[in-house]
Amino acid sequence: MVGVWARLKTNHTSDATSRSPDHTNDAASCASPEIDSTTPPAFDPIAYQADLHGLFELRRGVESRGLEGMRALWDALGRPAEGIPCIQVAGTNGKGSVCAWLSSIFCASGVRVGLFTSPHLVHFRERFRINEIDVSDERIAHHLPRVLQAANKTGYPPLFFEIVTALGLCLFAEAQVEWMILEVGLGGRLDATTVFPTVASVITSIGLDHCAWLGDTHAAIAREKAGIFRPNVPAWIGDVPEEAAMIIRQEALAHQVSALRWAGVDFSVQPLAVQPCATESLCFVGEGEAIEGLSIPLRGQHQHRNLALALAVALGQREQGWHITKEALRQGVQRVRWVGRLQRLEWRERVVWLDGAHNPEAAVVLAEALVSIRPAVLIFGAMQDKDIHATLRPLLGCVRHTIYCAAHNPRAWSASALQQMAREIDLSRTSEVSDNLADALTKAHAQSQNGDAIVLAGSLYLVGEALQLLDASCSPFPRTA
């Protein structure tokens, strides 16, 4: 059986002149006439894989336009999840960790919460989590054809991230979640998640990444990310450069943000040696609270900043009528799971550290963490839109040997191209190339000794491959039955 995608491609037109002028708020198009949205059909894995294949093919196109396509799609679906309180999180780095902590905290407080993140590492379903559990393939397979059909009827060429965002809203609406956490995919101002109304806006950090789309200065990127601001909605800001902070203040004023709260000024997390108010590791101060006894499973000093931001945002939602005890906050902080970010695995008498650092700022943070780890070998792969020189420079000095590997992605740099760029930085470093990750791991094992550490970085796509190779039986997140 073929998926709905094969049927839709022959019917869809990308001609902008064919767009219906009355596509918005069309109640008649809210439900598909071909699919009963209340009675799931039998799960057909072949049709499901065909639909996913067609969806992934959309990533090969250029995804650049305003929000009109996403608005039309949301309207065509009947505005699923409308009215559910939503927190939108943007930022160059750290937004996934902040989203994960927010979800874990809400779940610990007894709230039914939906979490939408990207990209997935191993399974497509990782993008949609309800109460810390992946939505099942069966539920996705039920809703995806309906979303694809709705996208085909809007008159706008379907875009990958718009369809995935709309799919998440449909899944969360069906599950009757009480809160939603939406991670921005790229930028903010024109991101598909920005169509949905929010009760809180978050910017975790501002760094130089995706410069071809967002601009090549901190100020330009800050302006794009501040595009998530809404009138009369408070915003929380993480650690950002002063150049970016100036733009964020301007945009907050222009968007009539109700309150602007800053990391290090309005809230912070401190170690006990500095802030002696706890019996364990860390203490949060902010939002009128001092919360001691915080113990975090995510590694790296940078996660202290991410934790402070997540706690400040969570406590700030008391204005929405949500209440949580300090003990529930501690449990949410401690139970968080967010893989591929300084994640430790044991493999064939080696310790392998996986980290998705793929831009200069993230590489600096990773290099700081590697000082204590002292890895012997670095496996590095990256996408072609990344600043390879600036990303590699802080990492090369942390290891004895580097293996360059092409991630299994059409946008990935070849291993030989990465090696050549690295030699432009430092000719003295020994290195070699591998055509695939399995070969790279074998070479890294040969270049190291028992107990040595191997670090893999440069791309979340490469991290996903590593998770499959090193522990094929382990899904990054729990899966629904």
Element (H, E) at 261: strand 260-262
DSSP-assigned beta bridge partners for residue 269: 284
Task: Supply the pLDDT for residue 195.
Answer: 97
Which residue in 141, 134, 137, 91 sits closest to 115, CA to CA?
Answer: 134
Which residue in 393, 290, 374, 280 sits closest to 334, CA to CA?
Answer: 280
| φ, ψ for residue 45, nearest 5 deg | -60, -30
Element (H, E) at 56: helix 45-57
pLDDT in tens, 195-206: 999 999 999 999
Could you tell me if 156 and 90 are in contact, meaning their C-beta atoms sit under 8 angstroms apart? no
Distance, C-alpha 2 to centroid of its chain: 31
| CATH among 1.20.1260.10, 3.40.1190.10, 3.40.50.2000, 3.40.1050.10 for 4-335 | 3.40.1190.10
287-317: b (≥16 Cβ within 10 Å) or e: beeebbbbebebbbebbbbbbbbbbbbbbbb
Task: Supply the pLDDT for residue 13.
Answer: 38
CA dihedral 249, 308, 356, 58 (to 10 degrees): -50
DSSP-assigned beta bridge partners for residue 235: 201, 260
pLDDT in tens, 364-384: 999 999 999 999 999 999 999
Q: What does 410-442 look like in DSSP terms, one character per residue?
A: TTBPPHHHHHHHHHTT-TTSEEEEESSHHHHHH
Please give the C-alpha separations between residue 312 and each of 261, 271, 307, 309, 387, in angstroms, as whole numbers: 9, 17, 8, 5, 32
Please give the C-alpha separations between residue 301 and each of 49, 111, 226, 282, 297, in angstroms, as whole numbers: 40, 29, 26, 11, 12
Amino acid in the structure at residue 324: I
CA distance 105 to 306: 13
Domains 4-335 and 343-470 share a fold: no
CA distance 86 to 179: 6
CATH number for the domain formed by residue range(s) 343-470? 3.90.190.20
Phi-psi category of residue 129: left, alpha or beta, with phi > 0 → left and psi -120 to 50 → alpha: beta
Task: Supply the pLDDT for residue 152.
Answer: 92
pLDDT in tens, 227-278: 999 999 999 999 999 999 999 999 999 999 999 999 999 999 988 654 434 3
Task: Supply the pLDDT for residue 37.
Answer: 45
Sheet containing 267-271, strands listed edge to edge, beginning at the edge strand earlier in sequence: 267-271, 282-286, 289-294
pLDDT at 23 over 90: no
Going from N- to C-terminal start, the domains of the chain cover 4-335, 343-470
Return the percentage of the chain with pLDDT > 70, whole number: 86
Which residue in 424, 359, 426, 421 sits closest to 398, CA to CA?
Answer: 426
Record the pTM: 0.87
